[in-house]
Amino acid sequence: MILTLSCDDRPGVVARVSARLFEAGANILDAQQYNDQETGRFFMRVVFDPGETGADAWRATLQPLADEYAMTWQLRRRKDRRRVMILASQQDHCLSDLIWRWRQGELAMDITAVVSNHPASTYPHTDLHGIAFHHLPVTAETKAEQEAKLFRLVEQSGTELVVLARYMQVLSEDLATKLEGRCINIHHSFLPGFKGARPYHQAHARGVKTIGATAHYVTADLDEGPIIEQDVERISHRDTPAALIRKGRDIERRVLARAVRWFIEDRVLLNGRKTVVFTD
């Protein structure tokens, strides 16, 4: 089982949670906690062996403690794989990388579908075999209709996480709000710098010495969602915009893969406009 929780910090939270698990017959395998002294919020992730007790019984056991501390909490069986939908546009490096890692067993998830505003023929080098593919073209006139179809797919497939793998469409405020907390975007820039379109060209024009990528939650505010993961790479004055794009693709792939893995392993907890990430 994986238990994640957050609450106002008070003395004894760790002791009370640990004792409740012990008294109910659990064996704690891993535990991480963090106290945000600026906000007074406490965060915890516990992995434990539940013995013969089922998930519903464990929820009933933990509910009184959660109520006492007014916790925001979640309990999930480790063997339950997250259901993930991947959205992409013309560039497929992030899409291909996620599928490759999934096929290798690196990402323990179930891909509910790949959705694109371009046809499947756009990805001749991506192994889509056995994965549901939906072509949902979009124009300014059909955006509301297209997003309604997309959200129906999310709901009907039981998708728990939507990944924008270089999906080059800005989600409407309505859809972004519906998916808040369960939609991750990869931005090809080290946010908060160089937001919006053509960030590598912006970076080149400014003569930066490092480029990066940012995986963040999608919110109604464009490129302002809580950041999950970032990485950078040094560049030089010799690098052209094309070279920055080439190097940036490598950064984007690994940053997005880490963010997805941490989400499906319940390592990411929201903390207002920020996140707490219990890395392994």
Is 80 an annotated catalytic residue? no
Beta-carbon count within 10 A of 35 CB = 14
Catalytic site residue from 223, 231, 250, 280: 223
- Helix, coil or strand: residue 194: coil
- Pairing mode, strands 82-88 and 109-116: parallel
Q: What is the DSSP letter of 172?
A: P
Q: What are phi and psi of 54, to 5 degrees?
A: -80, 170
- Distance from the first to the final alpha carbon of the chain: 16
- Helix, coil or strand: residue 236: coil
Q: How far is CA 125 from CA 81, 167, 176, 222, in A?
A: 27, 17, 30, 30
Answer yes or no: are the C-beta atoms of 42 and 35 closer than 8 Å. yes
Q: How far is CA 246 from CA 9, 60, 103, 196, 210, in A?
A: 45, 51, 24, 18, 14
Answer yes or no: are the C-beta atoms of 164 and 213 closer than 8 Å. no
Long-range contacts of 128-135 (CB under 8 A, 24+ apart): 128/99, 131/99
d(CA 276, CA 269): 5
Answer yes or no: are the C-beta atoms of 237 and 207 closer than 8 Å. yes
Q: Write out the catalytic residue numbers.
A: 223
